[in-house]
Every structure is written in C-alpha cells, then in structure tokens.
Structure 1
Amino acid sequence: MDRIDGLAHYRARFFGMHSVGLDDASGGASGANPVAYLDGNSLGRPTLASVQRITEFLTGAWGTRLIRGWDEEWMELPLRIGDDLGRAALGAASGQVWVGDSTTVMLYKLARAAVDSRSDRTEIVLDTDNFPTDRYVLEGIAAERGLTLRWIRPDHSGGVTTEQVQDAVGPQTALVLLSHVAYRSGFLADVRGITRVAHDAGALVLWDLCHSAGSVPIELDLWGVDLAVGCTYKYLNGGPGSPAFGYVRSDLQEVLAQPIQGWMGTQDIFEMGPGYRPAAGIRRFMSGTPAIVGMLAMQDTIAMIAEAGIEEVRAKSVGLTEFAISLVDEWLAPMGVTVASPREQTHRGGHVTIDHPDMRQVTATLWAHEVIPDFRAPDGLRIGLSPLSTSYVETYEGVAAIRDVLRGILLGRSGLLEP
C-alpha cells in the first residue's frame, strides 16, 4: 500500500522521516522517534523545511534585520499566510483569512461579533459534544449578553446532523457554532446543508475547522459560510501553540464589529490616535502584535498541500482510516473494542476513535513504548492519521501494538498472564 501511495514521498520531508525507506517495517523508528505516531490530529510532526526556516529566521530576518523586519515582511505576514491557506485548503478567495490569536481568542472574537450583530435575537445553538473551549467560550458570551444556549445532543459515535439543526434553530437564533469534524468521534458534518438551514432562520454560523483544515476539502466561499476558525498545529504542522486562523466572509467584514480592539486592527497602525478606527477589510479583525515566530512553520505544510492537492490528501486520509478500521475489526473487535466513529467514509474526518473500558491504561502503556495515540474520556482511544506524514506500515504497527497491549491487560486480569 505504501509503494502505490502517490503521496508517500512527502513523508521524507518531515523531521525524523527522511532516512526511512518504504521497506522499513518499523514504521520509521530511529532513536527517540516513535514506532508509530498516531496523534497527528492533535500535534503534527515538524517538517525539515520548517526546521531550516526557523533557524534561518533567528539568524537572518530577526538576527540581522531586527526591527526593520516589520516593514519588510512581518506586518503583512498574517494576511499573506491567510491567503495562501485559503487557496490551498479552505476554498476562500483572498482577503478573507488571517492568522491571529489562539483558537480560543479567535472563537470569542467572531462569536461575540456575530451575536452583537443580531442584537434582536436571544439564542445560540451549539452541541454538547463539541470541544470544551467552544462550549466554554459560548457559555461566557451568553452570560455577558444575557443569551440562552440551545443544546443539540449528538450520537456518541456520530455528530450533529442537518435535521437536528433544523429542529433547534428559530426566529430567536443569533448564532450556530459547530465543528466541521467532531473532535471525539471524527464525524464529518454537512457544512453546506447546515449553513443553509441556519441562514433560512436568519442566523449566522461559525464553523470550527480545527480537525478538518489540511485533511478534509473545505469550500468556505462555495458553501456560503459566514465565519470560521481553525488551529494550525494539527494537520498544518505549525508547532505547539501556533496561532489560529480566522475567516470572515467578505460581505460581513464591514458589518461585524470585532470586540477586542487593538492597534493592529486600526486604519493607520502608527498614527497612535486618540480613538479606535477599524481598518478596512480583514485586517480589522486583528488585535495585538502577531506571533511571527509562531506562524513560520505552517507555511511549509500549506505549500505541500497546495502542491499535492487537498483532494489527494483527502483520498490518502480515507485510505488510512479505512485500513485502520479494517485492522480494528479483525484484531480488536474480538476483545470487545467498538468503533466509535462513522464507518461511512463520507461521514468521517481524518481520525478514528475506538472504545474499550481499558483504553486509558492502554494509551499510557503505549506511550511508554513509543507508540503514540491519544485518549479521550470516558473510554476512547483516538487514532489520528496525518496523510502527508503517516504511512500504512506505521498504521499497521500502531494498531498491532494496541492489540498486543490490550490482550496483555485482559490476559493478566484473567490470571493467564502477568500484566
């Protein structure tokens, strides 16, 4: 499978992978490098190009150009990277995407701007299984603005459906906030259908793209999306805590008032005037000084996605998750493991969650032996497969390790084997 994979050569562009051939049955283990890295949906591997880029930035652009770097490149970098990302992975025309603050802050800015623009409405629609930050941010905004939260309760192994949104929205709905790919189950939501339903009710929609950007094709302009936010340290390989991106549809940019007014979002940044005057276009949604160092690495993966094509990336992602599920069915289902993700590939993003009461212990044991999935309470182990850096051999070795550790735990409990 690795030999016929049209994207297999990209694996050599990641740190620790460049010396690994397709015949290496270890999945790329060398030194401290994991036997199998199954957590690319939480933190992607660094690219070799990014190692070089950051090193050269420290000694060059920052080290020698110093403050002049702002005039020469840095001031426009959040907008330039935003445009590149929009073209490569988001289906967004230029002038609508920027790289800014953390995902949490970006969610707050756009959600607060949205509800303030619908001041005659009193409700926000969200779901109980969304990532905690999304829920917590909206709880805070609802408390600030005296709004009511209307909760959708998705299926454990699924996600929010168009029909559920249809039942939840109404004339009082100001905003709908949902994730394109559910962080726990990997369910792939119908962005276009749900956005249409929300618009029919007169509401705005804010999509969380954290688990889809760089793995699943996205067409924000075509789908009529209002607002979107996504992180850059998962499939975009921006590094730990790299800043998030935001999308505001062009016709809404002059309508929405962003709530965190800072000097980077003003008409004349260096006027230092007595009052806040928002810049034209997407820059008005910037607040403070951009994290330039933090946004360097994502450029190299964005370029790879543009080169490979997001449709090809998605095809590899589907192949990897289908392969993982087939191994789970053969090896793990007889031990009581269930697949807690959609089995239909058109309803599934780039990761697979499997449930068993012992998965917390399984995950801890695997980490100690250089196999790295992650755990999500109460019983879920997530297998995150990053299409540009994960091989089929690595996937095989990873699921085999899950099988062996779980088997040891169950046999040890039965007294047939020392745990």
Structure 2
Amino acid sequence: MSELALRAEKADAADELAGVRDRFVLDTVSDHAAGAAGVYLDGNSLGALPAHVPGRVEDVVRRQWGELRIRSWDESGWWTAPERIGDRIAPLVGAAAGQIVVGDSTSVNVFKALVGAVRLAGEGRDEILVDATTFPTDGYIAESAARLTGCVLRPVTPAGVPDALGDRTAAVLLNHVDYRTGRLHDLPALTAAIHAAGAVAVWDLCHSAGALPVGLDEHGVDLAVGCTYKYLNGGPGSPAYLYVRRELQDLFDSPLPGWNSHAEPFGMSPSYAPAPGAVRGRVGTPDILSMLALEAALDVWEGVRIEAVRAKSLALTDFFLECVEAYLPAGRVDCLTPVAHEERGSQIALRCADAGDVMKRLIERGVVGDFRHPDVLRFGFTPLYVGFADVERAARVLGEVVDGS
C-alpha cells in the first residue's frame, strides 16, 4: 500500500462524518482493473440517494395519495410543506426560520428574486449587474428581467462588482461558487459593497448550500435562491428554494403572484393580496412528490454540523490535489480551482486537453466526475459520503488513465 493510501486509511478512521456515509445508496460500479467499488465525485451535479428515501416516497404515493387522497393536504401536511421544508434548509445556509420557501425551479426563483430586487430598489435605479461568469441560465433570466423592468444589464466579474456599482444600480446577481472552476466568491464583502451603493444583493447558492457555511442572516443578504439536488441530495429535478430576508418580506413584490401566495388562497378573489412573510414567494400548487422526497432526504443532516462538512471538504480537496500532483505526469493537467481555502468551494476543476475522452475512461473505471466543454474535468466532493480512500483512488486512476495504463 502506498504512503498516500495509508494516509487516506488513517484519515477515514478519524473522520467524524464517516458514519454518515451509511445513510446513502452509493455507486457500486467496479473498477474493471482492480475490482474496487466505484467512486462518486459528481454530487455537485446530482447528489447520491439517501437510503431511506424510497420507503418514504412509497408511503407518500401508496398511503398519503393512494388512501388519504385529498385529505393529505391537511392530514399529511402537504399544504404547509413549502415553508416547513424551507425551515429545514434554513440552518444549512445560515438563516432563521420563516425566510425560505421551497418550490419551483432555480430558474423560476432567480426570476422572482431579480425582478423583486429591482422593485425593492425603487425609482431612479435602472441597472442590473450580473455575474459575467455565471451559469448560463442565470444570465438568460437576468437579460429577460432587465427587459421586463426597463433596466440596463451589465455583465461584470464578481471581482469587478465594487468598481461597477453606482447610484443607478438596482440589483446584483452573483453566484456564491463558480460552477466551472469551483471558485468561492466573497459573499460578505460583496454584499456589503452592494448595500453601500444602495442596491439589492441576490445570491445563487446552488454550488455552496450543503457544502459550506453561507451565513445569509449574518451577512445581511437580501434575496437568495438555490437548488436542492446537488449537495442537499433531494433527487433529480427536486424543487428549488427562495430566501427573502425577514425585514424585506412585507416589501417583496413577486413578479409571479399566484393563488398559493394569496393572503386568502381559498377565497378565490379576482384581486391579488399577497400573503405575509416568505409565503408570498409561492406561486402555484406545490409539486408534492418531489418536495416530500426532498424532505425525507434532508434527514441525513441530523446531527451533522455544516462547519464539520466544510472542514472535511477542504481536507478532501487538499488531499486530492496532493494525490494528483503525485500520480500525474507534471504539466498533464492544470488546476483551475483556487488553492486558497477562502476562495475554494467543494469541487476541483482540472483543465486537460483531452478531457472528454479522459472522463469517459474514468467512468468506465468506476470514477464518476463530469466533463465541461471544452477541456474541463470537474470533481465534486460531498463530505457526507466521500472519503479519503475514495479521493486517493480517484487520483490514482486518473493518473493511470492519462498515462494510458
């Protein structure tokens, strides 16, 4: 056994989160060469399945829907699920209860938040700044929101935001972690700069929630959105969420008012009156099956501290980079992810000339990451179920693949 493999074994034995791994159904694809269990490093795209979720979903389908039917809106708590599940996500992003509502997709929630942010900013502010490196959909939504609100859209890098802010800036939409490189942006400092300019801060937490502390309340974030199928393990297409800071809730004017966000949803009034609190972020009927699967998935966080998750994430990514340096020929890959802990999310992105073919061969060997056009290998590290032996093996197999072994 190599020195790195021995270190991985010792680190796994000392890992306070090691037992959480048993709460998941993990990839059993074998390494055809070594016969080892697979390594899943794509939780930053789709989290692994919590082992107890299928049974909970079966109960929702067979009993709550099949037997109770319409009674489940009250008796099974379907109607209050968006706020109840939002309150369970809240501690993972540093928010008090009553500020997060679950439902709709990330894209729909970005639209609600960004248009709502412009309306919060008020008259005289007709400019939206958007992260120039953002996930494409955020940019598309921002462009549409700018047209709808009569604003000018200015793409800027997160680092360029402080200099780009002005007295015309209404809202700024930023990603907490860059989806390609894994770079972690400075949410506290950027939020403070946005507020100093009199603008509204909107953060996309898709690649940070469940992987590291966010501190929405602590840092005074105005609005935030995020998905739940990555580090929160809610399942494919699981509903996203919208955070509205408590002090802004009575002022938040959603561009998508629906009967579910009405103050009297069953009054069927022809005129709209928004509900108080985060409920006004709802639109239509909740997507109950996927929402309750998400609620079940969140049980894996019982007894887990997000600070411990962050500490393990940094240790895993540090160790992966060390193993890559040891196992790969010099210059074969370039790391796009910052080395500094304060600038790193929970993924490592490596630039590799033949990245698409390399990833295909890695997956054939049981190491699952993903490929981003044109030349990026992405590896996501989910501390709840990824261990140090997984990391060592993934880097070793990567070395064998790029070396043609």
Q: Which residue, out of 82, 89, 95, partners 1:85? A: 89
2:23–2:300 contact (8 Å) kept in structure 1: no
Equivalents in 2 of 1:104, 1:264: separation in Å? 19
Counterpart of 1:116 in structure 2 is 119
Equivalents in 1 of 2:295, 2:314: separation in Å? 24
Equivalents in 2 of 1:124, 1:281: separation in Å? 25
Q: Which residue, out of 34, 39, 42, partners 1:39? A: 42
Counterpart of 1:351 in structure 2 is 347
Q: CA deviation at 1:333?
A: 5.2
Gaps of 5+ in 1: 19-24, 30-34, 154-159, 412-419
5 Å-filtered alignment, 1:86-235, equals: 86-87=90-91, 89-118=92-121, 119-153=123-157, 160-161=158-159, 164-235=160-231
Q: Once the two structures are aligned, what percentage of the paired residues are identical? A: 43
5 Å-filtered alignment, 1:259-278, equals: 259-278=255-274
5 Å-filtered alignment, 1:232-271, equals: 232-271=228-267
SS at structure 2 position matched to 1:275: coil
Equivalents in 2 of 1:395, 1:208: separation in Å? 28
Q: Deviations over 1:315-365 (max 9, x none)?
A: 111111111111122223514211100101121011010111111111122
Equivalents in 1 of 2:255, 2:62: separation in Å? 37
Counterpart of 2:7 in structure 1 is none
User: Structure 1 100/39 Cα, relative in aligned 2: closer, same or farther at 3 Å?
Assistant: same
Equivalents in 1 of 2:177, 2:26: separation in Å? 29
SS at structure 1 position matched to 2:328: helix
Equivalents in 2 of 1:323, 1:174: separation in Å? 42
1:178–1:207 contact (8 Å) kept in structure 2: yes
Equivalents in 2 of 1:388, 1:253: separation in Å? 33
TM-score (norm 1): 0.89
Equivalents in 1 of 2:293, 2:393: separation in Å? 28
Equivalents in 1 of 2:183, 2:25: separation in Å? 30
2:369–2:378 contact (8 Å) kept in structure 1: yes
Equivalents in 2 of 1:124, 1:38: separation in Å? 35
5 Å-filtered alignment, 1:314-333, equals: 314-332=310-328
Q: CA deviation at 1:301?
A: 4.3
User: Structure 1 333/219 Cα, relative in aligned 2: closer, same or farther at 3 Å?
Assistant: farther
2:350–2:376 contact (8 Å) kept in structure 1: yes
Q: Which residue, out of 64, 67, 72, partners 1:64? A: 67
TM-score (norm 2): 0.92
Q: Deviations over 1:121-169 (max 9, x none)?
A: 111112221111111110111222332222224xxxxxx33xx221011
SS at structure 2 position matched to 1:381: strand
User: Structure 1 338/74 Cα, relative in aligned 2: closer, same or farther at 3 Å?
Assistant: same
SS at structure 1 position matched to 2:316: helix
Q: Deviations over 1:367-390 (max 9, x none)?
A: 334321111122110110111011
Equivalents in 1 of 2:263, 2:187: separation in Å? 34
2:27–2:39 contact (8 Å) kept in structure 1: no
Q: Deviations over 1:234-287 (max 9, x none)?
A: 010000000001100011111121011111000111111111111111111100
Q: Deviations over 1:179-223 (max 9, x none)?
A: 111111111111111111000000001000000000101211110
Are 1:14 and 2:24 matched, yes or no?
Answer: yes
Please tell me the root mean square deviation across aligned C-alpha atoms, in Å: 1.8
Aligned residues between the structures: 389
